[in-house]
Structure 1
Amino acid sequence: YIPWMELGRTEFLRQYGFSYRQCEAEGYLFPLLTVSCRYHAPAKYDDLVTVETALKAIRSPYLEFTYKITREPDGLLLVSGETKQICTTKDGKPRR
């Protein structure tokens, strides 16, 4: 489920005009500090899922996202989770 959360975050940022590739080219990195994942129900092979991603907070230099992964077509909640990232330079120093 964590890779799906990463894809959700990537697409969320892309919708708002940001791409990880562009950020990295400009010297911004966003390593993960924490990941939490709560399992509510299992996904089964060949299930179609939807990943809902929301920006929970921006507290420079931190970004926090929330996630809900649901099964299609019934909308059953499979997983909820959160991530916290820090914006850094390529040297790993916090960047505000």
Structure 2
Amino acid sequence: MLISERKVEVRYAETDQMGVVYHANYLVWMELGRTQLIHDLGFNYASLEADGIISPVIDIQASYKKPVRYGEEALIKTWIEAYDGFRVTYGYEILTQAGELSVQGTSVHVCVKKDTFRPISFRRAYPDWHEAYEENKKLD
């Protein structure tokens, strides 16, 4: 199982009045993690969009444990938690600069045709991606 890593420096605009990262920004960081994982697997999400395919979030969960503050660097860890050929669940851990767990979460996605929002079989349409996801998903 591949666990992708991406560091992010906390920008002032990402914080609230308490100087900690505003909760919704962790969801943006999850997207950065997904993009990094896809890149690490040798693919590019933009190529799906060029084919008229998008991958909307159908469920997302985040559990906040410890804040990350302005001036710190966070580490986003991302992996494929589950995959069935149609639906993919990504797992996330966001760590503080000290290596402590800040956020733990998952997001579930499907691939659909952009113009109709009809689901596609990732297995059939993108066999290389399908194989990479099968090989790198978390083992039960």
TM-score (ref. length: structure 2): 0.66
Find the residue that maps to 1:33 and give its secondary structure.
Answer: strand
The Cα of 1:45 is off from its aligned counterpart by: 1.0
Cα deviations across residues 17-74 of structure 1 (Å, max 9, x unaligned)? 11111111123210000110000001111110000001011112101000000012x2
Find the residue that maps to 2:72 and give its secondary structure.
Answer: coil
Name the counterpart of 1:66.
91
For residues 42 and 110 of structure 2, the distance between their equivalents in structure 1, rounded to whole angstroms, comes to 19
Q: Sequence identity of aligned pairs in percent?
A: 31
Match of 1:81 among 77, 99, 105: 105
Give ranges in structure 2 of 5+ residues lacking alignment. Answer: 1-25, 122-140
Map 1:26-37 to 2 at 5 A. Answer: 26-37=51-62
Whose Rg is larger?
Answer: 2
Give ranges in structure 1 of 5+ residues lacking alignment. Answer: none
Find the residue that maps to 1:52 and give its secondary structure.
Answer: strand
Find the residue that maps to 1:64 and give its secondary structure.
Answer: strand
Find the residue that maps to 1:78 and give its secondary structure.
Answer: strand
- Which structure: greater helix fraction? 2
Map 1:1-96 to 2 at 5 A. Answer: 1-72=26-97, 74-90=98-114, 91-96=116-121
